[in-house]
A = this chain, B = another copy of it.
Amino acid sequence: MPFTLQHLSDIEEIKVLKHRYFRGIDTGDQALLADIFVENVACTYNGGTYKVSLKGRAAMLEFLANSFHSGAAAMHIGIMPEVAITGDNTATGIWYLQDVFIDTEKDDHTFGTAIYTDTYRREGGVWRIESTYYDRVIEVLTKFSKTGGRLSVQRLATTGRKPEERTDISHLIQWDE
C-alpha cells in the first residue's frame, strides 16, 4: 500500500473470485465452481470436528459436490478481505468466514467462524485460487431439531447431490469422534 490502479483492479477481481466461490458452494452451482481453482490447488480446512486436506482441482470439486449435498442447507459468508498483490500474477488474501451448516440427514447444526489465508495466481489473464487454508475461531455445535427451527427453503435439496449420486470422499476429510 498505497495501491496503484492495477492493484485496485486486481484486488476487485480477486474479491469477486472469492465471492463466486461462496455463492457457488451454498447454491450448489458446480458450473460456477469449475473455473475458480488452479489445476494444482491446495486446500486445508481445520474445523473443530473435521480436517480437510486435499490437492488438485478434481479432488476439490469432488469434495465440494459431496459436502454440499441434497440434505444440506449452507451459509458461508466470506468478508473483511485483506488482499495484497505480491507480484505481476500472484496475490495473497486473508478473509473472515462466518458459516451456518445444517445437515438434515444427521440432524447437525454448526455455527462457526474462521480466518482464511489464501494465495491466488493469474493464468492467461484470469485470477484463480491457488491455495486456501482456514483455522476456526469459534465453532458451536447443536442438533438442528433442538433449535426449534424448520427449514422453509433449502436450495441444496434441489441442486445438491442426491444420496445415489454421491461418491466417497473419506480420504479427503477426517472426522473427530
Contacts and interface: CB of A to CB of B under 8 A. Distances in A.
Interface of A: 1-13, 16, 18-20, 22-23, 26-27, 47-49, 73-75, 77-82, 94, 96, 98, 100, 102, 111-113, 115, 136-143, 146-155
Contacts of A10: 2
Nearest to A82: B16
A159 B115 CA distance: 15
Contacts of A16: 1, 81-82
B142 A149 contact: yes
B139 A23 contact: no
A77 B75 contact: no
Given A75-B113, A78-B80, A96-B19, A136 B150 contact: no
